[in-house]
Structure 1
């Protein structure tokens, strides 16, 4: 069983079966492929699981060379088990690990509730530095001996406490970094053009088309066969070009390569590519805007982050440092629970400030497809299967044509035999009837239409890496959006505030700026999460309107044209939002007194 780490907020179960290659079976399969003129290879291409069962025998997962994966939708996938040799530094403990917790940097995960630590023991003593893994949907799954299962590689970095992450601020040594890079793997490369071509050409419709062209050539039907061949070749080429180009474009969005300043254990600093980052790396964040290339836990300073790419919300979010101190020792880090302290991959850091020290530091926690952005990209590249009545009706129609062709072929053979037509002509005429009932030009015509639709989508900035799904879009008659602001009116305004005095409500005040100096006005001006970015206030829309209604601005000194004095307060920031309350601090108004809490 393979599972995503629970800390990702979801758990995906996969049924896996192990198979071990047998030489004599492989030789037999090649012999039958030759005897069947390659038809067996085509069948294996359509049903990869059949090829694995034919060439291999079932075995335990730990000894498997090939894996057959069945997901929760019943789809079968085949992948090959690979091995990677780790360096000598692979058994050294993680910077935040203790010698008595049984944890090493080879592989650390979270076991069941009764076992909080898990060390991957590699399957043979003489191969203790070899890790077994396979790739599935862009993610790497490694073999964990104690669990007797393949688990997503991000499991190895689960179970860190907040204190462990703070201890990682010194960074990894170059040896540990190299070991983790091998263990976590490199970003997957896009499929090559030859692989794309094989997927396109070995489609059953195109195989039928090749059969039809050969049949027409045998019947001296040269011109029509040549036309179908040219149209099909052009349509395949265009489809290959468009799909490959959009796939590479989408992959480039995943493989975001930027220069990142990394701290090493020896006190050194180096600028490396973001593609080379591994969990445990300590990175410095620039003060100006940049795109986060990985999931990282913030250690020092504050960051104003735009997470619209992941959440769709255009309101910037303030990120604060991960909790530290005695309470952090028993606090297990989780991206979901500590999202206020986590910078997610693909989000835009608008501003980074450091109040203690000169740098804003963060520790890498996830990379590649294990990140929040990786989950999003994975759902695009590997969508869930769709089951529409349109598909079922199309299959029924093809089966109906097949039955019709069988009846017509049988009738034609009987008539031709009665008329004593030569056997060669009987075979050609019978097969020709099949090509008439099931038109060979259908795939080419559908491909041309799909390419045209794909180009129209591209002009509107919409990527499509699965062109056949475009045909389903023609059946759409109604689209519903549930995003606030799409169908509803955007923005809000302050209608008024209701003061309270002596436990009694007073009449509503529609202009909060007309309030007298007092706790209510001070609360409206200070109980918020609004921050300044290049002298522009940003934050929750409700907070922005609330502060705007008071007529106060954040800054130092006297506001021109106003009676108010606003001075920066002690720099403390409480957890506050429009749907939660917290303790805040009132600024001192023209005096040196300490801020008072509210």
Structure 2
């Protein structure tokens, strides 16, 4: 049943699951720089630089080598910045109440383990006020903020008591808030937990935002409330929040799988290599024919050394691919990354940028994917109240919408009213 974790269970779960956070090892500059220099284009260009040095083109060779190293370094630097931006997708740590060893204790949310019983409580987020710089300082305890991150679910949880309204747009792209209620009919011995079907309305996912959260006491005052048989013996949490059973934490959670997919998708795309290989094979055929002609006629005369003759034949073969092409591509990719970063678009795989230039259309499944994950209705302005010439604010009576407008809005879009904050969330 849902009894919470004890001493032996805590030790075993800590070893197996680890902390509830996204600890991704960021590659160093030297690691990415080494991988970039070992790419086929860069190796080919460095080989051409060596050939030019052997042919006494010292100044041009050193300048080209400097440009290669500089441009590859800028590409690596932009990639590191993009990876660092993705690292901030994790949830901020905060203090939560956890039921362990038959008592409620307060601990860091990064210490949550599967099998814990946790109190889910929403703290209204505090927004920055530029005009008031003397606001109350944030309370800290062991380096954990107590007044931030209070509306974000810390892990994948099974709701046992209470109810909550969550916005799952950050994970699913669905902008309609979802109502979650406490579980009342699950038999732990005979029935399996079906998170995606039967018990979907009882599961809240890590990273989703709580719009409303009612604990057992608040629900009892409203409609009587319900308890699961296996959790009825557990005392109510000190903060009167929703009692939840921790299902998954860290990278095993829904948000963790998303972060792992984004930061782990580093495999090269191989769909374009067939066309590129056929083109290079065709050009290589003509290059071999040309170098063979030069080599044949060069060996007929004794005026040129065989060293210079062989060197020029190799230069003819390497001239199939312009040596400046990799540097030009690096410059184009770097400029593209700079333009995207100015638009707050981060790219973790720069090698995909040239292939993206062939696209003429993109299809997305939801508008929320392109716009924002928060669509909050500010108000409804009817034509009869529209006054363009007046800059005065409308009064409360003038700002109220008619019954017909509210009925039409409710039929078009599902709405959830968040009590206590005066917000109407679409």
Q: TM-score, normalised by structure 2?
A: 0.70
**2:192 counterpart (329, 332, 338):** 332
Instruction: Map Cα deviations across residues 475-498 of structure 1 (whole Å, 9 max, x no partner).
Output: 1112334436899xx99x9xxxxx
Counterpart for residue 180 of structure 1 = 13
Counterpart for residue 88 of structure 2 = 252
User: SS of 1:478's equivalent?
Assistant: coil
Cα distance, 1:172–1:457 mapped onto 2, change above 3 Å: farther
For CA contacts below 8 A with separation 6 or more, give which structure has more relative contact order: 2
Cα distance, 1:401–1:292 mapped onto 2, change above 3 Å: farther
Structure 1 CA distance for aligned equivalents of residues 49 and 269 of structure 2: 33
Cα distance, 1:184–1:372 mapped onto 2, change above 3 Å: same
Asked if 2 retains the 8 angstrom alpha-carbon contact of 1:246 and 1:464, the reply is yes
Instruction: Map Cα deviations across residues 261-312 of structure 1 (whole Å, 9 max, x no partner).
Output: 23322525242252x4332233222322422232121222222211111122
Instruction: Map Cα deviations across residues 201-239 of structure 1 (whole Å, 9 max, x no partner).
Output: 111111112222222222211111112111111111111
User: SS of 1:440's equivalent?
Assistant: coil
Q: Does 2:151 match 1:315?
A: no
Deviation of residue 328 (structure 1)? 5.0
Aligned residues: 339
Q: TM-score, normalised by structure 1?
A: 0.51
Q: Does 2:235 match 1:399?
A: no
**1:287 counterpart (116, 122, 125):** 122
Superposed, which structure 2 residues align to 1:51-450 within 5 Å?
Answer: 164=1, 166-167=2-3, 170-173=4-7, 176-185=9-18, 187-253=23-89, 255-261=90-96, 262-265=98-101, 267=103, 269-274=105-110, 276-288=111-123, 289-324=150-185, 327-337=187-197, 338-356=199-217, 357=236, 358-383=240-265, 388=271, 390-420=272-302, 421-450=304-333
Structure 1 CA distance for aligned equivalents of residues 116 and 340 of structure 2: 40
Structure 2 CA distance for aligned equivalents of residues 257 and 422 of structure 1: 70
Counterpart for residue 233 of structure 2 = none
Asked if 2 retains the 8 angstrom alpha-carbon contact of 1:172 and 1:280, the reply is no
Structure 1 unaligned regions, length at least 5: 1-163, 494-511, 515-520, 542-598
Deviation of residue 532 (structure 1)? 2.9
User: SS of 1:314's equivalent?
Assistant: coil
Deviation of residue 313 (structure 1)? 2.1
Structure 2 CA distance for aligned equivalents of residues 482 and 219 of structure 1: 57
Structure 1 CA distance for aligned equivalents of residues 417 and 276 of structure 2: 57
Counterpart for residue 588 of structure 1 = none
User: SS of 1:335's equivalent?
Assistant: coil
**2:366 counterpart (462, 476, 483):** 483
User: SS of 1:315's equivalent?
Assistant: coil
Q: CA RMSD in A?
A: 3.3
Cα distance, 1:535–1:382 mapped onto 2, change above 3 Å: closer
Structure 2 CA distance for aligned equivalents of residues 413 and 183 of structure 1: 67
Asked if 2 retains the 8 angstrom alpha-carbon contact of 1:316 and 1:538, the reply is no
Structure 2 unaligned regions, length at least 5: 124-149, 218-235, 381-401
Counterpart for residue 144 of structure 1 = none
Counterpart for residue 147 of structure 2 = none
Instruction: Map Cα deviations across residues 356-385 of structure 1 (whole Å, 9 max, x no partner).
Output: 332322222122332222333344334587
Cα distance, 1:217–1:366 mapped onto 2, change above 3 Å: same
Instruction: Map Cα deviations across residues 500-537 of structure 1 (whole Å, 9 max, x no partner).
Output: xxxxxxxxxxxx969xxxxxx9xx99xx9844333536
Asked if 2 retains the 8 angstrom alpha-carbon contact of 1:294 and 1:371, the reply is yes
User: SS of 1:227's equivalent?
Assistant: helix
* Larger displacement relative to structure 2 (333-342 or 175-184): 175-184
Structure 2 CA distance for aligned equivalents of residues 482 and 452 of structure 1: 29
Asked if 2 retains the 8 angstrom alpha-carbon contact of 1:303 and 1:351, the reply is yes
Asked if 2 retains the 8 angstrom alpha-carbon contact of 1:172 and 1:281, the reply is no
